[in-house]
Amino acid sequence: MRKRVFPVVLLSVLVPVIMAFETAGTAIASTPPSSAGQTARRDDALGPLVDLVAQRLETADIVASAKFGTSSPIDDPAREKVVLDNAASMATQQGLDPEPTRRVFSDQIQANKVVQYGLFSVWTSHPDEAPTTRADLNRIRPTLDRITVDLVHQLAATQKTRSGQNCDSELRSARRRVERAHDFDTLHTDALARALTSVCG
């Protein structure tokens, strides 16, 4: 079964579920935690990194539901700068070059927008599928912040693999496994590819 846009009837309970996941240290995912957490094989060095990218991407559905029908824009340069600056600072602390890390996180932001714009288009064309309640972005951001920390750690842990000549093929393999584990539809699959643009190199 493919990943689908959050049903309207579930939106009213979505935020409490997110908070429960945070308390348990579990990422937001469309698949059960045990499945998403086992996405990477032992010989799959990039699997954990790609899985974190997928987890972050899934929050785009919730962010879109919070913004749709409001004056809140999808593009938020001030917030984006905070995310990029924080990621660059953490990268420096981990011994990473901050500029490549900044590019990776810029890709996350752009991929998140791909999903948001895609959902806005669906909901505008099919109002009956639009959310009827809105998530609180202030309650979602701690999850994004946690993923940011974990993602920087994974960037540091995979430096050798990401700079190797086999990175592109290993990344493609990891991406396919993560797409299946998270049951992504075409919109989220395309966005995941966008989010991984700067991982290798």
Question: Is the pLDDT score of 15 beyond 90?
Answer: no
Burial pattern 137-160, b for ≥16 Cβ within 10 A else e, equals eeebeebbebbbebbbbbbeebee
Hey, what are 172's tokens?
Answer: 């493609």
Bigger pLDDT: 19 vs 174: 174
What local confidence, expressed as pLDDT, does residue 138 receive?
A: 87
What local confidence, expressed as pLDDT, does residue 43 receive?
A: 58
Instruction: Report whether 199 contacts 162 (CB < 8 A).
Output: yes
Q: What is the CATH number of the domain that holds 75?
A: 1.20.59.10
Mean pLDDT of 126-154: 92
Mean pLDDT of 130-140: 88
What local confidence, expressed as pLDDT, does residue 94 receive?
A: 93
CA 148 to chain centre: 10
Give the integer Cα–Cα distance in Å for 54 and 182. 8
Domain membership of residue 170 (yes or no) is: yes
What local confidence, expressed as pLDDT, does residue 112 receive?
A: 98
Domain membership of residue 32 (yes or no) is: no
pLDDT tens-digit profile of 78-107?
Answer: 999 999 999 999 999 999 999 999 999 999
**Enclosing H/E stretch for 51:** helix 47-67
What local confidence, expressed as pLDDT, does residue 37 receive?
A: 42
pLDDT tens-digit profile of 161-201?
Answer: 999 999 999 999 999 999 999 999 999 999 999 999 999 98
Instruction: Report whether 92 contacts 165 (CB < 8 A).
Output: no
Domain membership of residue 70 (yes or no) is: yes
Mean pLDDT of all residues in the chain?
A: 84
Residue by residue, DSSP assigns 91-124 as HHHTT--HHHHHHHHHHHHHHHHHHHHHHHHHHH
Helices (H), ranges, the chain: 8-23, 33-37, 47-67, 77-93, 98-125, 137-157, 159-162, 167-182, 186-195
Mean pLDDT of 68-74: 93
Domain membership of residue 27 (yes or no) is: no
Split into its structural domains, the chain has a count of 1
Domain membership of residue 31 (yes or no) is: no
**Tokens 């996405």 label which residue?**
39
What are the φ/ψ torsions at residue 5 (nearest 5 degrees)? -60, 145
Domain membership of residue 161 (yes or no) is: yes
| Structural domain containing residue 76 | 8-20+45-195
Torsion sign over Cα 62, 155, 195, 171: negative
**Tokens 């927008």 label which residue?**
113
- In the chain, what percentage of residues exceed pLDDT 90? 72
Domain membership of residue 200 (yes or no) is: no
Instruction: Report whether 130 contacts 67 (CB < 8 A).
Output: no
Mean pLDDT of 136-144: 89
Domain membership of residue 119 (yes or no) is: yes
